[in-house]
């Protein structure tokens, strides 16, 4: 990522669609075409794994699988596996700018089941090749999802004891009982990866690279933890001993209690980090560039006793550091890596990032505290090996962030950007990022469109109204495209 370039952060889920959520269909290809016209070289997406309770892409049922919601239904109609009227008889939500996850959960799998029942995937050589290439995770994931639906969506810790503890007899009995349903989940993964592969090839052919985002941790309610329990800090009942989060900071008095089980790094190291190796290999097939969320947790991580109600009672512990980054680098096979180095970044984190050579992140929303020595201000960047963002999926939109401030608080902002009103701020911040020495600059689509906090993607430590924003058809206009193109040309991106 050493050349000067620009990109857009736009989740697959946020693409326009008639059927409730963005997909890998025609709107995704149209978006690639728009990026090309805008002079963009990167499309960054949020994690594309299947989402669990709370609908967060950072809490997935699998670190390897793709989200069945993203399978484009219109392509399945073209393949003769569905009829348009079968799709349209369901209610996919009333608001095209919003995602109704409850309706998706109730309806999407019914529709996909119809396609599965009509498909002849078992006679497709590509299907069997796919299963063979993904054997490390596909059988366990499909079995896990079949069990989850059989037990009405309950997390695996609430399944019957023999199954929870993975007793051989129980495993064999349920594999036989749920054989057809297991095949359905494999079909969904085959279909997702077929559609993803076509889209990625189209983007790459037009010189657009896909940046993927992988969470450092995995969800407790996941195939990974149920299948590989020995690699996590679980007690003899398979319940978490310690969980992940971050300590109190300027954004939260209680810190953030994520609840993900922590890795048993000693056990991981004994296996030569095999699970991580396989995860990175899989991610390298999906993405051209891999952003590792919460990278600092590889060096030192906040460990919170599972019984705590907030993150306050946690403590810092040492992570695997360079032992793991060496495995990641080798497994990613030349794919670029971005280290998400936000949060409490100590000298040990900085040293590891320097050794890897991976770029870190600069957030322009964090830059304007009125102090000219703020490290997020572009004039303080030491070199171009970094990625500049206006904000991330966890932040307010640029308009929402700055418009809530008093005029007196914005005096430094106006002076720095050479503007005189709040309304000018979003475009001026985008220009600032483009003109910086950073090799890469990426802005959220919401900020390019100049939207307020109604379009905010996520409010950390809350559940229910996050991950729902969708772009309306035609909302990304020629005017926006022309602005980005002009900035690319003006600042050699």
- Residues acting as catalytic residues: 293, 340, 394
CA distances to 80, 199, 394 from 398, in Å: 44, 30, 12
* 141: its two tokens: 């994931």
Q: Which of 330, 230, 233 lies closest to 276, judged by CA? A: 330
406: left (phi over 0), alpha (psi -120 to 50) or beta: beta
d(CA 93, CA 168): 43
d(CA 236, CA 241): 10
d(CA 26, CA 195): 11
Q: Which of 59, 45, 53 lies closest to 13, judged by CA? A: 45
d(CA 236, CA 234): 7
How crowded is residue 15: how many other Cβ atoms within 10 Å of its Cβ? 23
Quickly tell me which residue has 């008093």 as its tokens. 406
CA distances to 64, 139, 227 from 136, in Å: 10, 8, 11
């Amino acid at each position: 990522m050493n050349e000067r370039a620009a990109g857009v952060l736009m989740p697959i889920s946020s693409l326009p669609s008639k059927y409730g959520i963005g997909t890998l269909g025609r709107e995704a290809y149209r978006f690639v075409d728009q990026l090309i016209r805008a002079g963009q070289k990167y499309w960054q997406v949020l994690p594309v794994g299947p989402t669990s309770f709370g609908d967060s892409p950072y809490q997935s049922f699998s670190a390897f699988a793709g989200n069945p919601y993203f399978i484009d239904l219109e392509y399945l109609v073209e393949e003769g596996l569905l009829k348009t009227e079968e799709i349209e008889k369901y209610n996919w939500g009333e608001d095209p700018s919003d995602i109704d996850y409850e309706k998706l959960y109730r309806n999407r799998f019914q529709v996909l089941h119809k396609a599965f029942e009509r498909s002849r995937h078992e006679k497709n050589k590509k299907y069997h090749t796919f299963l063979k290439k993904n054997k490390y995770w596909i059988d366990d994931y499909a079995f896990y999802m079949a069990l989850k639906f059989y037990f009405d969506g309950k997390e695996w810790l609430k399944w019957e004891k023999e199954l929870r503890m993975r007793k051989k007899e129980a495993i064999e009995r349920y594999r036989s009982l749920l054989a057809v349903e297991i095949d359905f989940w494999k079909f969904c993964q085959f279909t997702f990866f077929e559609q993803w592969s076509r889209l990625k090839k189209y983007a790459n052919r037009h010189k657009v690279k896909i940046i993927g985002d992988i969470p450092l941790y995995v969800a407790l309610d996941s195939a990974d933890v149920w299948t590989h329990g020995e690699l996590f800090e679980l007690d003899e009942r398979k319940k978490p001993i310690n969980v992940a989060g971050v300590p109190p900071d300027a954004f939260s008095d209680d810190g953030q209690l994520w609840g993900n089980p922590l890795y048993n790094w000693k056990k991981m190291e004994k296996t030569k980090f095999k699970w991580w190796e396989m995860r990175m290999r899989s991610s390298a097939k999906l993405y051209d560039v891999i952003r590792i969320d919460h990278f600092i947790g590889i060096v030192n991580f906040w460990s919170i006793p599972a019984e705590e109600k907030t993150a306050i009672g946690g403590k810092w512990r040492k992570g695997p550091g360079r032992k793991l980054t060496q495995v990641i680098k080798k497994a990613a096979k030349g794919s670029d890596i971005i280290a998400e180095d936000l949060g409490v970044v100590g000298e040990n984190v900085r040293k590891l990032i320097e050794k890897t050579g991976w770029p870190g992140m600069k957030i322009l929303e964090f830059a304007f505290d009125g102090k000219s020595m703020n490290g997020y201000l572009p004039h303080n960047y030491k070199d171009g090996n970094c990625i500049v963002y206006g904000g991330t999926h966890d932040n307010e939109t640029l308009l929402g962030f700055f418009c809530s401030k008093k005029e007196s608080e914005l005096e430094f902002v106006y002076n720095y950007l050479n503007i005189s009103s709040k309304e000018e701020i979003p475009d001026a911040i985008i220009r600032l990022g483009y003109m910086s020495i950073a090799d890469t600059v990426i802005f959220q689509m919401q900020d390019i469109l100049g939207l307020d906090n109604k379009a905010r993607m996520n409010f950390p430590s809350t559940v229910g109204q996050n991950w729902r924003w969708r772009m309306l058809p035609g909302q990304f206009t020629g005017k926006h495209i022309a602005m980005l193109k002009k900035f690319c040309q003006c600042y050699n991106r």
